[in-house]
Amino acid sequence: MNEQIQVVTTSAGSVFWSTIIIIALLVGAWFLGSLIEERMKKVERLDKTLRHFIGAVAKYSIYVIAIVMVLTKVGVPTASLLAVLGAAGLAIGLALQGTLSNIAAGVMLLFLRPFNVGDTITAAGITGTVKNLGLFATELATVDNLYQFVPNNKIWSSDICNMSRNTQRRNDVVMSISYSDDVDKAIKTLQKMLDKDERIIRTEGKEPKVFVNTLGASSVDIIGRYWTKSSDFFDTKTDMTKAIRHETEKAGLTIPFPTQTVEYVQNGEAAPAKKSTAKKKAA
């Protein structure tokens, strides 16, 4: 009877201390992860991406240590523990191939750094601002502020376009005029528009240029090519598109309308030809 009581007491004590260890290590994992992130904020070379990633790795590492310590505490032999962990690792690896590939992709994204937290990217068919690069997935906020939780493997296996990496971007705007209009006048009009905008860069090799690009079926297409800061790209593009509409009209230039002639036969005789027009939007 005494032996049974002693066994129960010993087992209860092991369970009690195992529970205490689990709780302590979980709290310690959260505290240590937060502490690491706070400490790394003082290191100027490290950005938010690396801070979050290292904090997550630290937390999960402590979780693994907690499991090993608890199993040891309840009396699982070390040799048996290693064998169980090896078999479990193999089984888990086969069952969670996608999850492990996300971790591997997260590590590659961290070291190769195609983007940082705060960059606007297009990847896996999604365009948005990077809010967090985690161990398993990347969190994005789309242009209309929708939350996107994208597995790292999808991002790593797709083309990544980083719209924030380069500080300057080039853009082309098109002015379409009629064949009866003065081409030189149109070029001067578009050049004047580019020269007036202070956001356009005028350094050597990146001066704004205007030239005839295409002799289309119903219009002469003139391109204005310019460079701006990446932060000014979209605002400049929309403003220039609007200005082309007003300046074209002010200069007496014509926005062409494609014309199509259709002939049809009625009662064996050719009926009068009809013309149909389709409005062509200015660039």
* Residue 169 phi, psi dihedral angles, 5° rounding: -135, 150
Query: Do 124 and 156 belong together in one domain?
Result: yes
| Mean pLDDT (the chain, rounded) | 80
Query: Do 20 and 56 belong together in one domain?
Result: yes
Mean pLDDT is highest, among 221-225, 268-272, 278-282, for: 221-225
Query: Do 157 and 196 belong together in one domain?
Result: no
Any domain includes 110: no
Q: Please determine, for residue 278, whether its predicted confidence score (pLDDT) is greater than 50.
A: no
Residue 49 pLDDT:
63
Where helices occur in 74-115 by DSSP H, the ranges are: 78-95, 97-112
Distance CA 123, CA 159 (A): 6
Residue 180 structural domain: 168-259
Residue 72 pLDDT:
66
Q: Please determine, for residue 188, whether its predicted confidence score (pLDDT) is greater than 60.
A: yes
Torsion over CA: 10, 13, 15, 17 (sign): negative
Residue 42 pLDDT:
65
User: What is the total count of domains within the chain?
Assistant: 3
Residue 218 pLDDT:
85
Q: Residue 9: which CATH number?
A: 1.10.287.1260
Distance CA 230, CA 237 (A): 11
- 111-148 pLDDT, tens per residue? 888 998 899 999 999 999 999 888 789 999 999 999 99
Query: Do 250 and 176 belong together in one domain?
Result: yes
Any domain includes 67: yes
Residue 9 pLDDT:
57
Distance CA 58, CA 19 (A): 21
Asked if residue 277 lies in contact with residue 170, where contact means CB atoms within 8 angstroms, the answer is no
Distance CA 202, CA 228 (A): 9
Distance CA 140, CA 118 (A): 9
Query: Do 24 and 62 belong together in one domain?
Result: yes
Residue 280 pLDDT:
43
Residue 276 pLDDT:
52
Distance CA 75, CA 15 (A): 11
Rg (the chain; Cα; Å): 33
Burial of residue 147 (number of CB atoms within 10 Å: 0-12, 13-18, 19+): exposed
In the chain, the percentage of residues whose pLDDT exceeds 70 is 63
* Residue 204 phi, psi dihedral angles, 5° rounding: -60, 130
Q: Residue 152: which CATH number?
A: 2.30.30.60
Any domain includes 188: yes
Asked if residue 222 lies in contact with residue 186, where contact means CB atoms within 8 angstroms, the answer is yes
Any domain includes 76: yes
Residue 281 pLDDT:
43
* Residue 190 phi, psi dihedral angles, 5° rounding: -70, -40
Distance CA 114, CA 162 (A): 7
Residue 196 pLDDT:
92
Distance CA 129, CA 135 (A): 18
- What DSSP character marks residue 200? B
Asked if residue 1 lies in contact with residue 20, where contact means CB atoms within 8 angstroms, the answer is no
Q: Please determine, for residue 215, whether its predicted confidence score (pLDDT) is greater than 50.
A: yes
Residue 210 pLDDT:
96
Q: Residue 206: which CATH number?
A: 3.30.70.100
Distance CA 158, CA 115 (A): 14
